[in-house]
Chain A
């Protein structure tokens, strides 16, 4: 097979779980994949204490740090629009989501931006990992969070709206990157206010 990142051929090792448990196969060589660094830092919500978003999120789990190889990955995936790369983290995402129970909700993209990007990068990560999800949220503002400071991000009125009825159950929010936490908190608050019992969040990267 050919590594999706460096393009060199590699051998994927046959395992019993691939044969019998229908486990997803890797799509990169070990050398490329080992460059991604597993995130171990805990995330604290102290910044949100005393704001309306206090307690909106019950827990956040991030898989990888935002190191140089990850920056390159995200650049090629998001900005060069290389949707084939969605598969790179399929196996690790699948394993993480298997451990949690709840309705998976990806952070949505504004419709105008979706046309520009040609695909929803957060949804596609889940699709590649064969994780079922529901699009219960919609984005109201089209402006990007990337260029704002943390204060500005928190001040903006809520970025999301629910477009389906929210059940009294567990929800798992999913996003590509957790930077200041504003996006996740906005989305979680919408879910909680509409009746969600518990809201956890998983992101691929800790920014």
Chain B
């Protein structure tokens, strides 16, 4: 048995063409039963009365939405072949491609874990952390409901360390790459002797068997029954809550009876866990800034004609004069691109997203226009925030809570503007405001 292959494939479901091992090595392990093969796509014919339809399922991402499947004449298998466009960026899975799974003698880690952390938890953090640890030890699912800026990551450390020491394989998943990139160096410092992989789109190849995997939820398409403990960070973030295949991917990546734990500021009703803890205070103990509503009637018409509405212009000028960094959230990419003036802007497809946020932090630029892409994960000292068109459906209460959570994160500047400019108040805006006021009261 090839040990490197064992370490690579344990817990994974991997496209054969993309395996970094020679064909003969793979063939030998298939013949000796170490590797189990699965076809890429399963297509079944369903008939109801006179109506016949083809239903396909992707064995990697478990997508069943038929509009993502495309069928063509394949020159490799010389048959009519179906492939999945849903997970195509990870290499195409088609009817004639083979998925590899490691079937017996799973790889194990060295189990020489060290926990090196000298930070201190506040009494509230300590309590939540202990509750989480208890749930993890009893293998019961746990929801950690913590406000933005509560210091959630630190709370996870004791539970992760205990799991690792018990010889368990642990996964921390988050919907966004930015979050994984931020977590990786922190975890490496805290667990210096643990083999950690950070997996996201475009991540470099990483060798060996990782006892701790930090991964975007997308990357979990490539795992099957791999983890004993799974933590989903930012479980309320787009696209996780909106994409059922991502939720299925997390369940699929966990071992059959493994508990899945969630960490979020704004739990959706669909998150059902056995236990939960609530953390309503920021680590610095100050109140969360409460959003203010301000009317900006007909803003979209005015912006279309190339004018910035008076109230908004006044707000921007004030921030520039007092040299306060600011973020303006806009509902659509079109509005962002057509916003008059020279203020730099970022959206999901923007290549210099990281650089621009950096420049804002270092005060090289006065402010940034953004879509909801910056709603979470960014910390900018003393930033003030305005949402334009807060009544639009893209700004759900959880998005608005996250956006409000950008303000007042540092102990030095615990307060700041958070203004919802609107063309009529929506229920979601009210919900967000109520939730934040509720946390401040408790």
Contact = CB atoms under 8 A, between A and B. Distances in A.
Interface of A: 2, 31, 76, 80-84, 114-120
Contacts of B70: 82-84
A80 B91 CA distance: 6
14 contacts: A31-B334, A80-B92, A81-B83, A81-B92, A82-B85, A82-B88, A82-B92, A83-B70, A84-B70, A114-B75, A118-B75, A118-B76, A119-B72, A119-B74
B76 A115 contact: yes
Interface string B76-114: 100001010100110110100000000000000000000
A84 B72 CA distance: 9
Given A2-B67, A118-B81, A118-B94, A76 B72 contact: no
Contact of B75 (A31, A82, A120): A120
Nearest to A82: B88
A115 B67 contact: no
A206 B44 CA distance: 43
A118 B91 CA distance: 13
Contacts of B91: 80
B114 to A, nearest CB: 41
A159 to B, nearest CB: 20
A152 B67 CA distance: 45
B73 interface: yes
A68 to B, nearest CB: 8
A46 B73 CA distance: 41
A119 B73 contact: yes
Nearest to B77: A118
Q: Which among B76, B89, B94, B333 has the highest number of chain A CB atoms within 10 Å?
A: B76
A120 B75 CA distance: 8
Contact residues on B (Cβ < 8 Å of other chain), bracket? 10 to 19
A119 B78 CA distance: 10
Q: Which among A2, A83, A116 has the highest number of chain B CB atoms within 10 Å?
A: A83
Given A81-B92, A82-B88, A118-B74, 7 more contacts: A76-B89, A80-B88, A83-B70, A116-B76, A118-B75, A118-B94, A119-B73
A32 to B, nearest CB: 10
Contact of B85 (A84, A114, A115): A84
Interface of B: 67, 70, 72-76, 81, 83, 85, 88-89, 91-92, 94, 333-334
A117 B75 contact: yes
A120 B76 CA distance: 11
Nearest to B333: A31
Closest CB pairs A-B (n = 3): A84-B70, A118-B76, A81-B92
A119 B75 contact: yes
Nearest to A6: B349
Contacts of B334: 31
Q: Which among A2, A81, A117 has the highest number of chain B CB atoms within 10 Å?
A: A81
A92 B73 CA distance: 24
Nearest to B67: A2
A83 B76 contact: no
A115 B75 contact: yes
A5 B333 CA distance: 16
A114 B74 CA distance: 9
B98 to A, nearest CB: 14
A76 B85 CA distance: 10
Contacts of B92: 80-82
A83 B72 contact: yes
Nearest to A68: B351
A2 to B, nearest CB: 6
Nearest to B81: A118
A123 to B, nearest CB: 10
Nearest to B89: A80
A36 B85 CA distance: 22
A76 B90 CA distance: 11
A116 B333 CA distance: 39
Contacts of B88: 76, 80, 82
Contacts of B333: 31
Nearest to A114: B75
Contacts of A116: 76
Contacts of A82: 70, 85, 88, 92
Contacts of A120: 75
B49 to A, nearest CB: 28
A174 B92 CA distance: 26
Contacts of B75: 114-115, 117-120
Contacts of A31: 333-334
Contacts of A76: 88-89
A3 B435 CA distance: 37
A83 B75 CA distance: 12
A129 to B, nearest CB: 16
Nearest to A83: B72
A116 B83 CA distance: 15
A201 to B, nearest CB: 25
A62 to B, nearest CB: 25
A81 B92 CA distance: 7
B82 to A, nearest CB: 11
Nearest to B76: A118
A78 B83 CA distance: 15
B204 to A, nearest CB: 19
A70 to B, nearest CB: 15
A203 to B, nearest CB: 22
Nearest to A111: B75
Contacts of B72: 83, 119
B7 to A, nearest CB: 27
